[in-house]
Structures are given as structure tokens and as C-alpha cells.
Structure 1
């Protein structure tokens, strides 16, 4: 194990660190972090309108004399998921321009204008246009930030002109050139018969990608890679978050729409699924570790000091005190359960959902929602909470033998 750790520290960690700090991935991650409250609100608006409780729809319709009561959820969706791609187009370009030290607001505005130049007003403003929004945000930032620094494209204003006006005219030609490039692309595509680029891109690229990411192997990979990166001190959740978010919002929306039509939800794997059934207490299902220490590690004073400090944050899925205080990071004994627990729990959760024992996740709960409660919220069913509780118990069972092993090692050291 020590040889393996040395190899990873020498060859893997430097590469992974560069990937984690890559400016485009960071820009995407930070953009979705800003929109997360909107997605949480929007998903609960949809969940209220389609709550899977027998008799709920009829009860609400009888009280309000029709389906006008669904207006609240619909309005909330329109202001959140309905325009999500517009926010992402702005925020990705904004964040990326900020890393280049350029005018971030102007870059974000040009990105939104470009997004609509491609025809977003037709079908691309909601999550179906998310992939195109990411591409537009990145490309616009790369093109516009280079043009805006070109002295040949700056409109020189007389002395005494307010700085805000001077900045606006400095961006005039770069903005015109950037938007015109994408306008030309739209015209060329229309010439080939592609009238709705967003719908075509969704059918050809985004939907198949979501299908691949929705499989059991992909769920297993997600459950593995996050704790694997954390074991070496890299923030695994942040590193794979851009990937998770690109499938998250469209999958949630597709699930909600399917349920509203009385159909089966098409997507099992999404971020609330991972948060509520796998990351119980944080990456590695570490709330199970906290409970395991209380059960069999109470005589180990060092462990108990750390555990007492980690217990309260762990209830809200914050586990840095355990990761670095236990420590789990670079601890050979904890490598196996730290990787094994999430892979087993994701397997149980996936097949419990695919077989219909538990409804799929159709809502987004804040990631700090306590375990079990989160499972019930994202599925709109008590069975979701029961599944989370079962996974938590299983994680405790997985961690107990390794805590006993640590206790034995500590006892041997004391007797030497």
C-alpha cells in the first residue's frame, strides 16, 4: 500500500491537481454553484405540482376548483429551470473572463447575446440548452477576451468621457465581431436545413450522453472516483461537479415531466441520487464511520476526540474534520472501506430505484440536508428515507472491522 501511495503521489496527484484547477472546469463548477439555489427551488416547485401521493392531485383540485393551484409551481419553474441555460451562458463566460483579468460583466452579456443569436428563444433557454450554453460561454470568453485587448479595435473617446462610457465603446467592436461569428454559424446551419440547433444538438449529443451517464457502471464510477481523489487530499466532489451538473438539471427536469405525464422517470443517476443515498455524511459515507467509532472505538481516546468534533458537521454532510483529523487522507487502513462503502451503497440504491422499490429522485435538496431526510425529500416518498437509512446501516457494518483493526494496532503499540 505504501508503494502504491508513493506512486500515486508522484505520477497521479500532480496531473489530477492540474485538472482540478483547470480554469474552464472551475468556471463551469462555479457557475452551477451560483444557480444551485434556483435549481433547488425549481425542482420543489415541480415536485409540489406532481407529488406522488395517492389522492393528492384530486384533493388539491377539489379545494381550488380546478388546476389553478399548479400556477405557483409553474411560475417558479419558469423563473428557474425555464431559463437555466441563460444563466449558465452568462456565468461561465463571466467566471472565465474574470480569470483572464478582463471585463467579466461585458463578457457575460456578450455570451447571453450570442446564446440568443443561435436561437435560444425557440427551445434552448431551459435545461435542454445546457450543453450549448456551456460551449457558448467558453467560446465567447475565449474570443471576446482576446479581441477586447486589441488596441486596433478600441474606439478612442475624448478626454472627460465617463469611464463607464469609455469601457462600453472599448467593447463595441469585439462584441460585434463575436456575435457576428455565431450569427454566421446560425445562418450556415439554417442553410443546411437545421432550423432549431438546440433541439438537434439535444437529440444528437446531450440526450445520448445523459443516457450513458445514467447507467449502473457510470454510477459505480462516480461512487469510486470521488473518494479515490479525496484519499489523496484532492477535493473529489468539486473535481467531478462540472460533469455531474451537466447531466443533473436535464435529468431532474426529464424525470419531473415524465411523472407529470404518468410515465416512468427515465433517469436514475443524478446529483440528488448521489447526495441522498451515497454521500451520507459526506464523501465515503462517513456518517457510518462516525457511528462505527461510537460503537466499537470508544476506548480509543484519540479517535473519540476527533469523532466528537466530526459528529455534528457529519449530520449535515460535512466531513473535512474526519478526512484530515482522523485522518482518512493517505491512511492505508481506511482506503478500502472509504472506497468500498460508497460503491456498495450506490449499487443498492441503483437497483432499489431501477426495480421500483424506491421512486427516482425528482427534486434537488440542499447538499447539507441531513441523511434520511434528504432521501425522503428528493424522492417525495418515505421509501427514499428508508433506503438512505439502510445504506447508512450497511456503511456502519463496513467500517466496524477496520475500526477494530485500528484498535488492535493501538493496543499493540501501547504494549511495546
Structure 2
């Protein structure tokens, strides 16, 4: 194990750190962080509209003399999921331009205009998400290079307000970039592709989401995040750009399918991972907290760290445990920290696949305590039961490793 850790520190960590700090991935991650409240609100609104409780539905229908009460959820959806791609087109460009030290607002505006020039009006919701990401990255790279070209800068006389001067500095680059995307749309139309976004969704995005919702993909997600965390890298942040590209479309598709009385098409999405796998945080460390309370009290430092970690762990914040116990670079805890999420994703995936538990259709805040999160994400108490079962499994897996750790620490202290 020591040789493996040394090898990873020497070869893997530097590469992973560079990937985690890569400006394009950081820009995508930060953009989705901003839109997270919108996705949570939109998912909750759809969930309320379609809550599978007949008593609730009948009560609301009787009060409003029909289904007009669902207009609230529909309006909230229009202001959240229905404009998600528009928000991402602006925010990714804004963040990326800021990383380059350029005007983020101008870059975001150009990206937004380019998105609509390419046909964004037909893909404002999550079905245009991939195109929005591509357009925002490409348009910003072009903007950063063109804005620095002195031949394209319209210089204003002294005394002109800075805001006006800045807008004229971006005028020619903006015109060039938007025209390029307009030309691309015209070329595609010439070949018979009138709706680029819908065609791209059918050809690429939908198959990719289906592939990402498979069991092997879920298993890989369950493995890679704790694996990165073991070496002190924020695994969740590093894979977040990938997760978000499948997350919003999957949640929206599941919610719309449920409202139409159909089966949810996508099992794997962010709430699925949050409420069934990351119980207490990456590695399902709430199970470790409980395991230490049960069998790790003999060691004082374990007990102290555990008490400090228990409160945050209930709300899925596990940094005190990761760095306090620690789990990071702890060879004994490496096995359960990696194994537990993979076991939990297996039970959750096949429970959903077999219809024992509904698919996740809404996105509770990630700080929602386990079990409650399972109920909210699936709009069913069966989701809470599955989360409780997975929590019990995580405790069982962690317990023998806690015992081993305590024994090893006591022997080390005796030798010292």
C-alpha cells in the first residue's frame, strides 16, 4: 500500500491537480454552481405538481376547482429549467473570460447571442445544454483572442465614460463571432438541417445520457470521486462538469415522463448519487461516523474527531472526517472508502431498475440529511427506505476497518 500511495503521489496527483484546475472545466463547474438553486427549485415545483399522493391531489383540485393550481409549478419551471441552456451559455463564457482576465459580461453576452444565432430559441431548456456548452467555450476563446487585437479595437476619445469605451472595444469582435455562428447555422440549413439543436440532441446528447445512465457508468462515478478524495483532491468538484451535463436533462426528462404517467427513463443523475450513495458525503462517511460510535470508542482521538464530525456529517459535510481522522492517505480506510460507494450504487441502481424504488425526479439540496433526501428525490417513502438500507450497509462495511484502525493505533501508542 505504501508503494502504491508513493506512486500515485508522484505520477497521478500532479496530473489530476492540473485537470482539477483546468480553466474550461472550472468555468463549467462554477456556472452550474450558480444555476444549482434554479434546478433545485424547478425540480421541487415539478415534484409538487405531480406528487403521487391522491389525497393531496384531490385536496388541491377541490380548493382551486380544477387543476389551475398547477400553474404555479409550470411558471416556476418556465423560469428555471426552461431557460437553463440560456443561463449556461452566458455563465460559462462569463467565468472563462474572467479566468483570462477579460471582460466577462461582454464575453457572456456574445456567447448568448451566438447561441441564439445558432438556433438557441429551440433549445433554451436542458435539451440545448451541450450546444450551449460548446458555443460558450468556442465563442469565448474567439472573443479572448479578438479582443486583444488592436486592429479590431474602436478607440474612443478621452472623456468618454469607461462603460461606453468598453462596449465599443468589444463591438467588432462581437460582430465577427456572432456572424460566424450565424454562418454555421446557414450552412447547416443549406444541407437540410434546419434545427441544429434538436438534431444534435437526437444524434449525440440523448445517446450519451443513456450511456451515462448505465450501471457501469454509475459504478465508475462511485469509484472515481472517493478515489480522488483519498489523495486529497476534491473529487466531487473535479467530476462535477461531467455530472452536470447529464444531470439537468435527466432530471427534467424523468419529471416530464412521470407527469405524463410514463416510466422515468434515466436512473443515474446527481440526486441518485447524493441521496443513495453519498450518505454523509463522499464515501458514505455517515456510516463511518456511526461505526466509530459503535466500535471505535476505545480510542480517544477517534472518539473526539467523530464527535466533531457527526453534526456536519448529518448534512453531508465530511471534510472534518476526511482530514481529521484522517481518511486522506490512510491505507486502512482506503478499502472501505472506495468499496462502500460502489456497493451502495449497486443496491440503489438495481432497486430502481427492478421498480422497487422510483427514479429520482427532483433534486433536494445536497445538505439534506440522508433518508429524508431519498424521500424528497423520489417523491416516495420507498426512496427513504432504500437510503436507510444503504446507510446500514455502509455501517456494516466500515465496522471491521474501524476495529482494525483502533487496534493499530493502540499498538502504535504502546510502542511509542
TM-score range for the pair, normalised by the shorter chain length: over 0.9
Tell me the CA shift for residue 63 of structure 1.
2.5
Counterpart-to-counterpart distance in 1, 2:353 and 2:370 = 21
Contact persistence 2:276–2:387 (CA under 8 A): yes
Q: Hey, what does 2:43 align to over in structure 1?
A: 43
Q: 1:314-329 maps to which residues of 2 (within 5 A)? A: 314-329=313-328
Q: Partner residue of 2:73? A: 73
Distance in 2 (alpha carbons) for counterparts of 1:165 and 1:411: 70
**Structure 2 unaligned regions, length at least 5:** none
Runs of 4+ aligned residues of structure 1 deviating over 4 Å after TM superposition are none
Q: Kindly provide the CA deviation profile for residues 120-163 of structure 1, in whole angstroms up to 9, marking residues without a partner as x.
A: 11x20000000000001101110011101110011121221111
> Does 1:353 find its partner at 2:349?
no
CA distance in 2, matches of 1:272, 1:408: 37
- What residue number does 1:30 align with? 30
Query: Counterparts in 2 of 1:191-340, with a 5 A limit?
Result: 191-340=190-339
Structure 2 counterpart SS, 1:328: coil
Q: Secondary structure at the match of 2:232?
A: coil
Aligned residues: 415
Gaps of 5+ in 1: none
- How is 1:31-180 mapped onto 2 (pairs within 5 angstroms)? 31-121=31-121, 123-180=122-179
Give the conservation status (yes or no) of the 8 Å contact 2:82–2:124.
Answer: yes
Deviations 1:89-114 (A, max 9, x none): 00000000000000110000111111
Compute the TM-score of the two structures, normalised by the length of structure 2.
Answer: 0.98
Deviation at 1:84, TM superposition (A): 0.4
Q: Show CA shifts across 1:392-415 (max 9, x none).
A: 111000000011111221232344
Residues 272-308 of structure 1, C-alpha deviation per residue, up to 9 Å, x if partnerless? 0000000000000000000000000111001011111
Out of 49-58 and 269-278, give the one that drifted further. 49-58
State the shift of 1:55 in Å.
4.6
Give the TM-score normalised by structure 1. Answer: 0.98
What secondary structure does 1:183 align onto?
helix
